[in-house]
Chain A
Amino acid sequence: MIPAIEVKQVYKNYGPVVALVGIDLEIEQGEFFALLGPNGAGKTTLINVLAGLTLPSNGVAKIMGHDVAKNYREARRIVGVVPQELVFDPFFSVRETLSIQSGYYGLRNNDAWIDEILHHLGLRDKENANMRTLSGGMKRRVLVAQALVHKPPVIILDEPTAGVDVELRRSLWGFIKRLNRDGHTIVLTTHYLDEAEELCGRIAMLKKGEIVALDSTKNLINNVSGYLIRLRLSSETLPSDLQPLLESYAEGCFILKVNNYSKIESVLAALRIEQIRVLEMELMQPDLEDVFVKIMGNTKNMGSV
Chain B
Amino acid sequence: MSGFYTLLHKELLRFWKVGLQSICAPMIATLIYLFIFSHILEERAQAYPGVTYTAFLIPGLLMMAMLQNSFANSSSSLIQSKISGSIVFILLSPLSYMEIFVAYVLASIVRGFLVGAGIYLVILIFFDMPLQSLSWVFIFALIGNGFLGVLGIIAAIWAEKFDQLASFQNFVILPLTFLSGVFYTIHSLPPFWEGLSRFNPFFYVIDGFRYGFFGISDVSPYFSFMIVGICFLAVSWVTLRMLKTGYKLRQ
Contact = CB atoms under 8 A, between A and B. Distances in A.
A108 B9 CA distance: 13
A89 B87 CA distance: 9
B92 A73 contact: no
B84 A76 contact: no
A76 B85 contact: no
B14 to A, nearest CB: 5
Contact of A100 (B6, B85, B251): B6
Interface string A64-105: 000000001110110001010101111110000000110111
B6 A104 contact: yes
Given A52-B91, A104-B95, A87 B84 contact: yes
A261 interface: no
A91 B6 contact: no
A87 B86 contact: yes
B96 interface: yes
Nearest to A49: B250
A146 B90 CA distance: 12
B2 A108 contact: yes
A264 interface: no
A77 B92 CA distance: 9
A104 B5 CA distance: 8
B69 to A, nearest CB: 18
Contact of B96 (A51, A73, A106, A108): A73
Interface string B66-99: 0000000000000001001110111111111000
A90 B17 CA distance: 11
Interface in A228-255: none
B85 A85 contact: yes
Interface string B1-32: 11101110110011001000000000000000
B87 to A, nearest CB: 8
Contact of B91 (A53, A85, A91): A53
A262 B217 CA distance: 99
Contact of B92 (A76, A88, A90): A76
Interface in A124-151: 146
B3 A106 contact: yes
A55 B81 CA distance: 20
B246 to A, nearest CB: 5
Contacts of A92: 13
Contacts of B9: 100, 103
A104 B2 CA distance: 7
A104 B250 contact: no
B84 A89 contact: yes
Given A88-B86, A89-B84, A105-B94, A100 B10 contact: yes
A103 B1 CA distance: 10
Contacts of B95: 104
A105 B84 contact: no
B77 to A, nearest CB: 10
Given A83-B88, A105-B94, A89 B5 contact: no
Given A53-B250, A55-B250, A104 B90 contact: yes
A54 interface: yes
A181 to B, nearest CB: 25
Interface of B: 1-3, 5-7, 9-10, 13-14, 17, 81, 84-86, 88-96, 246, 250-251
The 9 nearest A-B residue pairs measured at CB? A103-B6, A87-B85, A104-B93, A76-B94, A89-B86, A73-B94, A106-B2, A77-B94, A104-B3
